[in-house]
Amino acid sequence: MPPRHFLTLADIDAETLESLLRRAAELRALHHDGSLHEPLRGRVLGMIFEKSSTRTRVSFEAGMAQLGGSALFLSPRDTQLGRGEPIEDTARVLSGMVDAVMIRTFDHSTVERFAGASSVPVINGLTDDHHPCQLLADLQTWQAHRGELQGRTVTWMGDGNNMCRSWMQAAEMMDFRLAIGAPSAYAPEDLADYPNSRHETDPQAAVEGADLVVTDVWASMGMEDERQTRLEDFAAYQVNEALMAAAGEQALFMHCLPAHRGEEVTADVIDGPRSVVWEEAENRLHAQKALLEWLVTPRR
């Protein structure tokens, strides 16, 4: 039986997504109760990092430990990938030694090629095109505060990056509306493929009626040379108190972190009462534990 992979949200169906979110909530409750739950005892997760990380590394490593397994951190300096070994060769070797592989890298084709040659599940910890693990945590956090997303409105404030694309996929799977607030030059190129998503150049129009406002840094890793231009282009799209007021009194705020206060978000919003950012960050742990359970334990 071929392994299950999690490279984008589209790799699972809506029923599986809902099941993972329910399980993540259960695992969070078990963790907070101090209950021991070790279904992955003796299992090993290989973690390949070509991009630096705080939340991705700690959540996967701690998650495997709490599930009774272990995790191996592998940077380009630690593997032959950094010396030019073909991705497929590394995939074949590692999948004979570990039970799953998580990859955090730049080019999405890297995880696709790795998964194509792997005999164990492969998880996308982040690529330039998708960030599905973050969406699991975001959706779990939303449900804990507001219940179902169906029929709701989410505003993504920022460029059509990996987070935006994962939110676009989520909107189709969970049947909510996504408004993308960004200058025309930064809108997702494949927007037409996602009928539940729309683009707005006017930031006020983008947040009108929003139940949730989400943003990210304006210049991600690898875009350092674009930083100044992006600061100027996105100045009007900062999530501040005025923008949150336009969204409505019940709107929540999320950010995948790290955040640059005073740029994409102001301190009074991210540290304010409508921010669920810290719970969102913790839920990376619980959502990924649910994912690891589903991917690694034997299928029935």
Q: Exactly one of 5, 23, 108, 131 is catalytic; name it.
A: 131
Is 225 a known active-site residue?
A: no
Q: Exactly one of 23, 28, 134, 255 is catalytic; name it.
A: 134
Q: Which pLDDT belongs to residue 225?
A: 81
Is 78 a known active-site residue?
A: no
Q: Exactly one of 4, 55, 130, 284 is catalytic; name it.
A: 284
Burial pattern 20-49, b for ≥16 Cβ within 10 A else e, equals: bbebbbebbeebeeeeeeeebeebbbbbbb
CA 121 vs CA 15, 128, 132, 148: distances in Å = 20, 20, 15, 29
Q: Which pLDDT belongs to residue 221?
A: 65
pTM of the predicted protein model:
0.96
* pLDDT single digits (tens) 66-123: 999 999 999 877 776 767 789 999 999 999 999 999 999 999 999 999 999 999 999 9
Stretches in the chain below the pLDDT threshold 70: 80, 82, 221-222, 300
What span, in angstroms and rounded, lies between the C-alpha atoms of 191 and 173? 15
Q: Exactly one of 43, 55, 104, 286 is catalytic; name it.
A: 104
Q: Which pLDDT belongs to residue 222?
A: 64
Q: Exactly one of 216, 238, 255, 286 is catalytic; name it.
A: 216
| C-alpha angle 54-60-64 in degrees, rounded to nearest 5 | 145
What span, in angstroms and rounded, lies between the C-alpha atoms of 102 and 110? 12
Q: Which pLDDT belongs to residue 219?
A: 82
Is 37 a known active-site residue?
A: no
Q: Which pLDDT belongs to residue 214?
A: 98
The amino acid that residue 163 corresponds to is M
Q: Which pLDDT belongs to residue 82?
A: 66
Q: Which pLDDT belongs to residue 77?
A: 77
Is 80 a known active-site residue?
A: no
Is 199 a known active-site residue?
A: no
- Residue 79: both structure tokens together: 């593997």
E runs forming strands in the chain: 44-49, 70-74, 100-104, 122-126, 153-157, 177-181, 197-200, 212-215, 252-255
| 153-157 and 212-215 beta bridge pairing | parallel
Q: Which pLDDT belongs to residue 74?
A: 94
Q: Which pLDDT belongs to residue 227?
A: 87
Q: Exactly one of 5, 165, 256, 286 is catalytic; name it.
A: 256
